[in-house]
């Protein structure tokens, strides 16, 4: 792990990301928005108009936060509108890198070796974490946003006139319910698995694991009555949940010690995950080889040998 301080790369320990033994996810630093007409979004400043070929998305196939932007990119048919780079799954001394490897897509902006070089290209004096995803503006030469939740919503609506894809995953009529669902799932599950895996005290770990499995039990019961989180319509909330679920048995069960049960032991929740996985183009965003290499290979404070397990063998058939 690492961060930039006044534009200089520095290493950062796990303990520096913890408070009283609890893992704390840092806030995003870049909060501008791409909008259909270039006006300012809910945060940041204006000037980022939706245009074909102007924006570039950098993701890790391993990262659940980055992967939800990748999911929205394909759902909204933005593959030819917003270009893509993919970092190497290993994140070691220099953080995320573009070191050549299977499925790595090099940086076309400056031919960067390391992701932190794009951060300092955008802001030479930047101080903060260097994370994926980032949405880059080729026209102005800067990062628009590194907040995955915001990028999802930009992709959901800003480019509709360019693609003709009017499917809305954040409809006005459901926004209050979506926000409530997002808050619950983020706190207890999306973030909960990290709180468990990165915990530096037994009490913090046990609290996090309890929250994770209470949430999975409630979700499993919910899907006895309905198809998706808010009924029969897929929304943003489902995709925010999906990117954690799809990694659960591969890494969170073992590597993050969330091992009371596997996802496949919750039949309704497992079938829900597979329904989402089999929606058009979604399976192509899931690369569990990158997921396992990243978690088991990068988190040397948890897995000092860096050995990546061969299993589990997951059957995604419906």
Is 205 assigned a catalytic role? no
Residues 6+ apart with CB under 8 A from 213: 258, 260, 261
Residues 6+ apart with CB under 8 A from 100: 88, 106
E strands present in the chain: 2-5, 8-11, 18-19, 22-23, 55-59, 83-86, 128-129, 134-137, 142-145
Characterize the bridge pairing of strands 128-129 and 2-5.
Answer: antiparallel
- Catalytic hit among 63, 114, 119, 295: 63
Is 194 assigned a catalytic role? yes
Characterize the bridge pairing of strands 142-145 and 2-5.
Answer: unpaired
CA distances from 102 to 61, 233, 287 (A): 11, 35, 11
Q: How many CA atoms lie within 13 A of 263 on its CB side?
A: 26
Rounded to whole angstroms, how far apart are CA atoms 184 and 175?
14
Among the listed residues 68, 49, 47, the one whose alpha carbon sits nearest the alpha carbon of residue 57 = 68
Rounded to whole angstroms, how far apart are CA atoms 7 and 252?
33
As a whole number of angstroms, the longest Cα–Cα distance in the chain is 52
Torsion, CA 191, CA 194, CA 196, CA 202, rounded to 10 = -110
Token pair for 258: 């969330």
- Catalytic hit among 194, 205, 272, 295: 194
CA 234 to chain centre: 18
Q: Point out the residues that are catalytic.
A: 63, 194
């Amino acid at each position: 792990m690492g961060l930039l301080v006044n534009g200089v790369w520095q290493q950062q320990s796990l303990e520096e990301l913890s408070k009283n033994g609890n893992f704390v996810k840092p806030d995003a630093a870049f909060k501008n928005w791409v909008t259909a007409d270039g006006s300012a979004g809910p945060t940041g400043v204006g000037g980022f108009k939706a245009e074909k070929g102007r924006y570039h998305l950098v993701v890790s196939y391993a990262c659940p936060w980055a992967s939800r932007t990748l999911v929205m990119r394909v759902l909204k048919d933005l593959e030819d509108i917003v270009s893509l780079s993919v970092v190497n799954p290993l994140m070691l001394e220099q953080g995320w890198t573009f070191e050549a490897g299977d499925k790595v897509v090099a940086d076309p902006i400056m031919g960067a070796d390391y992701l932190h070089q794009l951060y300092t290209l955008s802001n030479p004096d930047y101080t903060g974490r260097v994370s994926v995803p980032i949405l880059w503006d080729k026209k102005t030469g800067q990062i628009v946003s590194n907040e995955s939740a915001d990028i999802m919503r930009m992709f959901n609506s800003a480019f509709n006139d360019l693609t003709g894809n009017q499917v809305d995953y954040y409809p006005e009529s459901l926004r209050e319910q979506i926000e409530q669902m997002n808050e619950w799932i983020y706190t207890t599950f999306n973030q909960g698995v990290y709180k468990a895996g990165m915990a530096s005290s037994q009490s913090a770990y046990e609290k996090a694991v309890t929250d994770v499995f209470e949430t999975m039990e409630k979700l499993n019961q919910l899907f006895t009555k309905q198809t998706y989180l808010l009924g029969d319509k897929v929304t943003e909330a489902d995709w925010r949940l999906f990117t954690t679920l799809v990694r659960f048995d591969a890494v969170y069960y073992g590597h993050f010690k969330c091992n009371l049960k596997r996802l496949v032991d919750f039949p309704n929740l497992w079938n829900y995950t597979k329904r989402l996985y089999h929606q058009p183009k979604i399976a192509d965003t899931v690369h569990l080889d990158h997921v396992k290499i990243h978690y088991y290979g990068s988190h040397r404070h948890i897995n000092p040998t860096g050995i990546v397990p061969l299993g589990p063998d997951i059957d995604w058939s419906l």
